[in-house]
Amino acid sequence: MQNKYLARLQAFIGSILLIDALVLFSTGKFNVGTIFPAILGLGLLSFSLKYASWQRWLAAQSYRQRLWPWFKLFSAFWLISLLAFFYKLTVPDRIRHQPSTLIVLGSGLDGTQPSPMLRARLDTALIYAAQYPKAQLVVSGGQGFSEEISEANAMQRYLLAHGVAPQRILQEDQSTSTEENLLFSHRLLKTKATEPVLIITNDFHTLRASKIARKQGFPIVDYASAPTPLAIRYNAWLREYFAFTSSWLLGEL
């Protein structure tokens, strides 16, 4: 009876993961945050619908039976680490220093206009630009392969249209990654790079971005998180979990 209810739960979770991934595939989003849930959903559905077949497959070889408990233990530890990472992303921002500079990280364009995710970052930047009127703003982002202008250019236009004085804004328009965003911003700021900075990006991205900022030479770093659109929020969080893990393993943090 217990296995029956567990199989139903696995089938339900697998269906949700698979449907969510297929919806995002239909919008052209193919990345770890969409592909992995699709694979996991298919695996859970397969395991729940073909439970007896899986049991026979495991019983066919003794080494499979020995490895199966270790696989379940690894899966449990992985799930705990994933939930801990997600929990960390929900912790409210704590800005401990008055920043001399707000660094807004780029995140894609729709033609020449900021994408919804980038607009969220810019709207958050506007809040802190008003809160810290003496702080300079760096808009950081190069021109992607399918983009008509640089992200920095589009970001500056958005901020100007919302009342930010042009002399407060510096453009960093050569970067193609988070590492380059912060490295090139550090070079652009020169002497100001030793003063407190506030990194503005989406909630899922704050942990990795702030650690990379310190790695690139910013000694005093706080971050402000913009909300991620609900339709892609948890896929973005999942993708960032793998990005954070790989950056940590490669010594980039």
Instruction: Compute the distance between CA of residue 197 and CA of residue 213 in angstroms, rounded to an integer.
Output: 9
Length of the chain: 253
**pLDDT tier for residue 25 given thresholds of 50, 70 and 90:** confident
Overall average pLDDT of the 197-201 stretch: 96
**Domain(s) of CATH 3.40.50.620: residues in the chain:** 101-249
* pLDDT recorded at residue 234: 80
Quickly state the pLDDT bin for 48 (edges 50, 70, 90): confident
The pLDDT of residue 24: 72
User: Domain 101-249: which topology?
Assistant: Rossmann fold (3.40.50)
The DSSP letter of residue 70 is: H
Calculate mean pLDDT across residues 155-182.
95
Average pLDDT, the chain: 87
Phi, psi of 123 (to 5 degrees): -65, -35
Categorize the per-residue pLDDT at 129 as very low, low, confident or very high, splitting at 50, 70 and 90: very high
pLDDT digits over 58-106, tens only?
888 888 888 888 988 988 898 899 899 989 888 888 889 999 999 999 9
Q: Please tell me which residue, 51 or 121, carries the higher pLDDT value.
A: 121
Tell me: pLDDT of 2 over 50.
no
CA nearest to 232, candidates 26, 76, 15: 26
Cβ-based neighbours of 251, under 8 Å, separated by 6 or more: none
Tokens of 85: 């990472």
Question: Between residues 229 and 167, which one has the greater pLDDT?
Answer: 167
The pTM is what? 0.79
Contacts of 84 (CB under 8 A, 6+ apart): none
> pLDDT above 90 covers what percent of the chain?
43
Residue 133 identity (one-letter amino acid):
P
The residue that leads in pLDDT, 85 or 229, is: 85
